[in-house]
Amino acid sequence: MKELLAALIFSIQFLTRVPLRYHCDPATISVRTSLFCFPLVGFFIGAVLFTVWYLLSILTQFNGFTIALIIVTIETIITGAFHLDGLADTFDALLSSGTTPEQKLSIMKDSRIGVMGAVALILSILLKIVFIGELIGHNLSSALLLYPLVGRWTLVLFLFMSPYLRASGTGHLLAQNIDRKSLLIASLWLIPCLLVPTFLLSFIVLLALLLLYRSYIHKNLGGITGDVLGSACVIAEIIILFALSIFGR
């Protein structure tokens, strides 16, 4: 139990900016167990967002898109824009003038944001707001519980399916400890999502598009990095929100 708690705390500290005083050193915890916890952390984030929606819906007269903007703002505060930063860096590299994987990876490490990264960042935020607003307008606010969970599950999926290109950092440590069992147990958190009638069809669409994105990443980079993982998380969230809004009508 103590090992599970430490792994969960590490996952929360890694994936969010929630100020937990308990310090978890990756060298002293079960990294494989922490991977099991990634979707659970996503569910915790979703629970906060669902609570915000519920309180705003009963205490204010805000329309769905205003609530969606507030929800995306709160999500960004919780995560510290962690995955959004990876999205911007990834698209700066992928859509750069670099012609080799090495050149693109070098651009990805640059802390400065370029035009393509900024465009990807703005579009991702706008798409989230639009799709969340649509879902709220169609009484499908349960999606707020699902999409952060799916995004963090995607991290585990990509770590399992792709070689990790960096030789250091937390992402490298996670990649070293991922295995089939990790993905299987992490995937168990998706089972409750099936209670949402349109989730299964939406999830099939998600998997198909994620495989296409993985293929594109491999063609251009040869594998993944921490930034690519962040981009995959954001893209998965947008896809599942889009699919749920389409099939839930």
Residue 114 tokens, joined: 């370029």
Residue 25 belongs to some domain of the structure: no
Longest pairwise C-alpha distance within the chain: 54
Residue 151 tokens, joined: 């995004």
Q: Which domain holds residue 220?
A: 35-247
Q: Return the pLDDT at 228.
A: 96
In 3D space, the residue among 122, 142, 125 whose CA is nearest the CA of residue 53 turns out to be: 142
CA distance 233 to 231: 5
Residue 14 belongs to some domain of the structure: no
Residue 107 belongs to some domain of the structure: yes
Handedness of CA 213, 153, 119, 85 (dihedral sign): negative
Contact (CB, 8 A) for 80 and 183: no
Residue 6 belongs to some domain of the structure: no
Residue 10 belongs to some domain of the structure: no
Q: Return the pLDDT at 28.
A: 64
Residue 173 belongs to some domain of the structure: yes
- For 19-73, how does the pLDDT look when each residue is reduced to its tens digit (9 = 90+)? 887 766 666 678 888 899 999 999 999 999 999 999 999 999 999 999 999 999 9
CA distance 233 to 31: 19
CA distance 57 to 4: 36
Q: Return the pLDDT at 27.
A: 62
CB under 8 Å, gap of 24 or more: what pairs does 170-176 form? 170/14, 170/26, 170/226, 171/225, 171/226, 171/229, 173/26, 173/31, 174/31, 174/34, 174/35, 176/31
Looking at the DSSP bridge assignments, the partners of residue 224 are 164
CA distance 199 to 114: 35
Looking at the DSSP bridge assignments, the partners of residue 164 are 224
Residue 24 belongs to some domain of the structure: no
pLDDT in tens, the chain (249 residues): 677 888 888 899 899 999 887 766 666 678 888 899 999 999 999 999 999 999 999 999 999 999 999 999 999 999 999 899 999 999 999 998 777 888 998 889 888 888 999 999 999 999 999 999 999 999 999 999 999 999 999 999 999 999 999 888 888 889 988 999 999 999 999 999 999 989 999 999 999 999 999 999 999 999 999 999 999 999 999 999 999 999 976
The torsion angles phi and psi of 224, rounded to 5 degrees, stand at -120, 160
Q: Give me the number of domains the chain comprises.
A: 1
Question: 3-class secondary structure for 26-43?
Answer: HHHCCHHHHHHHHHHHHH
DSSP designation for 216: H
In 3D space, the residue among 190, 191, 185 whose CA is nearest the CA of residue 36 turns out to be: 185
Q: Return the pLDDT at 142.
A: 93
Contact (CB, 8 A) for 84 and 234: yes
Identify the H or E element spanning 161. helix 143-161
Can you give the pTM of this predicted structure? 0.94
Return all residues near 143 (Cβ < 8 A) that are at least 6 apart.
Answer: 132, 135, 196, 240, 241, 244, 245, 248
CA distance 9 to 15: 10
Q: Return the pLDDT at 111.
A: 80
Q: Return the pLDDT at 24.
A: 66
CA distance 181 to 244: 28
Residue 2 belongs to some domain of the structure: no
